[in-house]
Amino acid sequence: MTRDKTLDILKGLGCLLMIVAHSSLNIGGYERFKFWGGLAPALFYAAAGAAAALQAQKYKPRGVLITYALLALIGFSFNRITDPGFLQEPEFDIIQIIAVGASAVYLIERRFQPNAWIYLALGLLAFALKFILQALFKNISIVGVTNFLFPPGIFPIFPWLFPFFIGLFAYRAENRFNLTLALLAAFALFALNQLHIPLDLENKWDMSLGYFLACNLLIFSAFFFLRAAAPLTQRAPAGLLNFLGKNSLLFLYVHFPIILALKENRIHRTVKIIFEHPFLFWILALALTLLLMFMLLPLTKLPLLQRVFSNGRIWLALAGMVFAAGLLLSQQNAYAAEIALGVSAALFYPLMGKTFKQK
């Protein structure tokens, strides 16, 4: 099966937006860019949904589901990087919801192979279920359960399953429908604003109607333009977006600590040229991220490490170490350990798939 560059480019765009979102620059009027950067997960999830459907055509369920389960567990290392108290109140972050969303698409596609429009309906249903569950569980909180299912979690299943389904619809539907639905989302945002109906546009964590429409506008627009340009992108040599998309898991683990270090050292305020031109902070963070990625990727070519990470027991041990580090080490040591574990998993994640998946 030929790798679809469209999905890699989509994830590459998400990586660039993630740099903007996680930089959270509050200088020079750059606060306004955080909202658009914060839409990055919608692109990752849309691409993951389409990729999961391709997996359903190629691999048997047992290996795929084991791979996604281990990804979800090992992905808690990223939760620790972003939140020191990640074990006190577990929540789904970006990696867990990718594992769950991709598994859901895989199982539906494997069993039913529905029409593309069914996935559009499922995306709308996933968003609607958020409101239903919040009403049913009003004033009820079960740690580790309710925040996995609906807000207030970081990326709860409902509504965040919707981009996986919407992304697969956009990937499969005729491109004229992507253009039409992008225009409908834009028109809905404009009309609701003109009617003075509260959009709560920046409410990402409780997924307002405005934020939902903005995500859909981005997904449908991105697929429309990338698919329209597919005859060129599929033949073009791999570029920056393609590289970032193919290595997006490694990018996730590398860029966040770099941005934290830069901000803790107040580079964005103490370096005059960056303070005067804040976009240079994004360029610096991206450049350092790429540099470290290029330094790490040759490790994947070492025969000894390839043999090590082709052993299923190693991946089980890695998942166990993620939680052991959070429980047994000090905060500072746990932070460093989780980065090391996460980077190791990201580098050799393709080998995990080959180890467990069966055609």
pLDDT > 80? residue 1? no
Q: What is the mean pLDDT of residues 178-190?
A: 98
The pLDDT value given to residue 350: 95
Q: What is the mean pLDDT of residues 352-358?
A: 91
CA 91 → CA 128, 280, 325, distances in Å?
21, 33, 17
- 158-172 as b/e, with b when 16 or more CB fall inside 10 Å? bbbbbbbbbbbbbbb
pLDDT > 60? residue 120? yes
Q: What is the mean pLDDT of residues 120-146?
A: 91
pLDDT in tens, 186-236: 999 999 999 999 999 999 999 999 999 999 999 999 999 999 998 777 776
Q: What is the mean pLDDT of the chain?
A: 94
The pLDDT value given to residue 160: 98
Spatial CB neighbours of 216, under 8 Å, sequence gap ≥ 6: 166, 181, 182, 185
- What stretch of H or E contains 82? helix 76-82
pLDDT tier at 244 (50, 70, 90 boundaries)? very high
Q: What is the mean pLDDT of residues 16-41?
A: 94
Q: What is the mean pLDDT of residues 177-182?
A: 98
pLDDT in tens, 283-293: 999 999 999 99
Percent pLDDT > 70 in the chain is: 98
Spatial CB neighbours of 137, under 8 Å, sequence gap ≥ 6: 146, 150
Q: Which range is least confidently modeled, 83-87, 173-177, 200-204, 219-223? A: 83-87
Q: Closest Cα partner for 10 from 56, 51, 65, 67? A: 51
pLDDT in tens, 261-290: 999 999 999 999 999 999 999 999 999 999
pLDDT tier at 85 (50, 70, 90 boundaries)? confident
Q: What is the mean pLDDT of residues 74-85?
A: 92
- What stretch of H or E contains 65? helix 61-74
- Other CB atoms within a 10 A radius of the CB of residue 42 amount to 26
pLDDT in tens, 301-317: 999 999 999 999 999 99
- Other CB atoms within a 10 A radius of the CB of residue 189 amount to 18
The pLDDT value given to residue 237: 65
Exposure of 319 in the CB half-sphere (CA atoms within 13 A): 14
Spatial CB neighbours of 217, under 8 Å, sequence gap ≥ 6: 182, 185, 186, 189
pLDDT in tens, 97-108: 999 999 999 999
The pLDDT value given to residue 206: 94
Q: What is the mean pLDDT of residues 161-186?
A: 98
In the chain, the number of structural domains is 1
Domain coverage including residue 234 = 5-356
| DSSP assignment of 239-269 | -HHHHHHHTHHHHHHHHHHHHHHHHHTTHHH
The pLDDT value given to residue 96: 97
- Other CB atoms within a 10 A radius of the CB of residue 218 amount to 22
d(CA 346, CA 309): 11
- Other CB atoms within a 10 A radius of the CB of residue 40 amount to 22
pLDDT > 60? residue 253? yes
- 279-306 as b/e, with b when 16 or more CB fall inside 10 Å? eebbebbbebbbebbeebeeeeeeeeee
Local structure of 90: helix, strand or coil:
coil
pLDDT > 90? residue 146? no
